[in-house]
């Protein structure tokens, strides 16, 4: 049975190889020193927001306890969404952490 011919490998020019390695080093730069504390801070702030909402019986941080003072700030159960939203900012930041 006849054998097929082998394919020839493409030769890589030195300039292309240098460009490929320089792009990798640029993308691998570490995050600034403030990145990790801010990321974890968002996660903890969201968690504290939700826990505070549940523990206080939906009165704080912005709940029914403000009806007489500022009725426009009565967010009620929207506090859960706010807490999860703040936590999600931290989780999205964690995908960019190096």
**Do 75 and 62 meet the contact criterion of CB atoms below 8 Å apart?**
yes
pLDDT at residue 6 in the model: 79
**Is 97 part of any domain?**
yes
- The domain containing residue 79 runs over which residues? 51-98
pTM (2 d.p.) = 0.60
CA distance 96 to 26: 14
- The reply to whether 33 falls in a domain is no
Q: How many helices (H) and strands (E) does the chain have?
A: 3, 0
Calculate the alpha carbon distances from 17 to 9, 12, 22, 26, 27 in Å: 15, 7, 9, 15, 16
**pLDDT tens track for 53-92:** 888 877 777 766 555 565 666 777 888 899 999 999 999 9
Residue 46 domain-assigned (yes or no): no
Structural domain tally of the chain? 1
């Amino acid at each position: 049975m006849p054998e097929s011919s082998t394919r020839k490998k493409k030769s890589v020019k030195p300039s292309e190889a240098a460009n490929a390695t320089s792009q990798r080093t640029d993308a691998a730069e570490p995050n600034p020193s403030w990145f990790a504390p801010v990321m974890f801070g968002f996660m903890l702030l969201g968690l504290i927001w939700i826990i505070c909402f549940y523990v206080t019986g939906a009165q704080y941080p912005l709940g029914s306890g403000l009806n007489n003072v500022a009725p426009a700030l009565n967010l009620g159960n929207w506090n859960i969404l706010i807490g999860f939203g703040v936590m999600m900012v931290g989780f999205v930041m964690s995908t960019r952490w190096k």
